[in-house]
Amino acid sequence: MDCLFCKIINKEIPTDFIYEDEKVVAFKDISPQAPVHILIIPKDHIPSNDDITHENSAIVGHVFVLAKNLAKEYGLEEGYRIVNNCKEHGGQSVNHIHFHVLGGRQMLWPPG
C-alpha cells in the first residue's frame, strides 16, 4: 500500500522513533509547529477518524494515555494540545490516522 506512515511504521523509510509498542509508534514531526511536536500513529492502517468505530476505538484511549506520558517526558508541565486533523476540511495531509502532540509555547484559539 502506498501509505507514507505505513512505510515509516514498517521501517521502509528510516525514522527515529521516540516510542514504539505493539499498537503505535511516535516520532517527531518533520515540520514542527511548536518547540515540541510529536506524532503518535496507530500501526493499523486506519485512514482517518471517520473510520473509528466502537470495535477499533480502544486505540484512541491508548494514544491519549501515551500523549500524556510523552508530554511529561518532554517537559510539557504547563500544558499541550492533542490534534487530529480529519479529511480535507480538517486539514489532513496523510491519510493514515495520527495524533499531533504540540507544546512548549502558548497555543492559540481558534485554530486557523
Active site residues: 98
Q: In angstroms, give the least distance from the CB of 105 to Zn ion.
A: 30
Which of 93, 106, 110, 111 binds ligand 5GP (CB under 6 A)? It is: 93
CB nearer to ligand 5GP: give 35 or 77.
35
Can residue 88 be called a binding residue for ligand 5GP (CB under 6 A)? no
Whether the CB-CB separation of 3 and 24 falls below 8 Å is answered with no
Can residue 98 be called a binding residue for Zn ion (CB under 5 A)? no
Can residue 52 be called a binding residue for Zn ion (CB under 5 A)? no
Residue 30 interacts with, from Zn ion, ligand 5GP, none (CB under 5-8 Å by kind): ligand 5GP
Q: Which amino acid is at 74?
A: Y
DSSP string, 22-80: SSEEEEE-SS-SSSEEEEEEESS---SGGG--TTTTHHHHHHHHHHHHHHHHTT-TT-E
